[in-house]
């Protein structure tokens, strides 16, 4: 039986942490859909192609392999910015739809997080969450994460990259980041990870128990 949890929200809101923990808790599979766009963006950067080259980005998306998602350079700011650029291309998005849709429908349940999961990829998801937090809180979390990994950056640089990326993701024509009408909002600004997870588990339990 399939059971789909769709989680959307802006950058560094805690979606990934909640999604992974929910998947563990319920024994569901987990897909971080941002990694797909990050892997495509990374390939464009590696090939020194401009981030406006739709034809090249599409070729990279069509040739994407699961091993491309395992690279350790997908989480830096340069890759995030490239991901947001290729994610604004309708053809790139189309090339990645069927993989995401079939992952969502797999037997045993699935959690997917991204920007358009509850609106475009899984409009009929069993549970939809929109996870957010204030810009300052999100930038602080991402800054700490990047610094811990040895990235030489500043809070201000992280905040302005995050704002630019959110604006691009929310304002694009295709599949913009937006809260689905039937998504439950979780604002993690003043929540611990444990509190945020408990809130998410509560929401899922309401539907899962009756599924």
Which residues participate in the annotated binding site for ATP?
9-17
Nearer to ligand DC, 80 or 204 (CB): 80
Query: Of 29-37, 61-69, 126-134, 135-143, which part binds ligand DC (CB under 6 A)?
Result: 29-37
Among 4, 14, 38, 126, which residue sits at the site for ligand DC (rule: CB under 6 A)? 38
d(CA 151, CA 56): 29
User: Counting contacts by CB under 6 A, is residue 116 touching ligand DC?
Assistant: yes
In the DSSP assignment, the letter for residue 183 is P
User: Counting contacts by CB under 6 A, is residue 33 touching ligand DC?
Assistant: yes
CB of 175 to ligand DC, least distance (A): 7
Nearest alpha carbon to residue 96 among 105, 106, 86 = 86
Among 3, 21, 23, 84, which residue sits at the site for ligand DC (rule: CB under 6 A)? 84
In the DSSP assignment, the letter for residue 113 is E
Q: What sign does the CA torsion over 52, 171, 40, 93 have? A: negative
Nearer to ligand DC, 59 or 163 (CB): 163
CA distances from 11 to 62, 98, 99, 162, 207 (A): 25, 24, 22, 7, 27
User: Counting contacts by CB under 6 A, is residue 14 touching ligand DC?
Assistant: no
Query: Of 17-25, 111-119, 143-151, 189-197, which part binds ligand DC (CB under 6 A)?
Result: 111-119
d(CA 154, CA 159): 9
* Tokens coding 183: 């998504």
User: Counting contacts by CB under 6 A, is residue 9 touching ligand DC?
Assistant: no
d(CA 167, CA 180): 18
Number of residues that bind ligand DC (CB under 6 A): 15
Starting at the earlier edge strand, list the strands of the sheet with 29-32: 29-32, 110-114, 4-8, 127-132, 184-187
Query: Of 30-38, 65-73, 126-134, 136-144, which part binds ligand DC (CB under 6 A)?
Result: 30-38
User: Residue numbers of the site for ligand DC (CB under 6 A)?
Assistant: 11, 33-34, 37-38, 80, 83-84, 87, 114-117, 165, 169
């Amino acid at each position: 039986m399939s059971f789909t949890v769709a989680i959307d929200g802006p950058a560094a809101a805690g979606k990934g942490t909640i999604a992974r923990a929910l998947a563990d808790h319920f024994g569901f599979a987990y897909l971080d859909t941002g990694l797909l766009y990050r892997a495509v963006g990374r390939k464009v950067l590696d090939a020194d192609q401009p981030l406006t080259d739709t034809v090249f980005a599409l070729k990279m998306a069509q040739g994407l392999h699961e091993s491309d998602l395992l690279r350790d350079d997908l989480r830096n700011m340069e890759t995030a910015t490239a991901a947001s650029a290729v994610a604004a291309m309708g053809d790139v998005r189309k090339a990645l739809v069927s993989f995401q849709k079939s992952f969502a429908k797999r037997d045993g349940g699935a959690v997917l997080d991204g920007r358009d999961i509850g609106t475009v990829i899984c409009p009929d998801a069993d549970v939809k969450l929109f996870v957010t937090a204030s810009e300052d809180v999100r930038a602080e979390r991402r800054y700490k994460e990047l610094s811990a990994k040895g990235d030489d950056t500043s809070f201000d640089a992280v905040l302005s990259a995050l704002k630019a990326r959110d604006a691009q993701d929310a304002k694009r024509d295709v599949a913009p980041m937006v809260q689905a009408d039937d998504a439950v909002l979780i604002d993690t600004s003043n929540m611990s990870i444990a509190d945020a997870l408990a809130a998410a588990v509560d929401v899922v339990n309401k539907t899962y128990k009756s599924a």
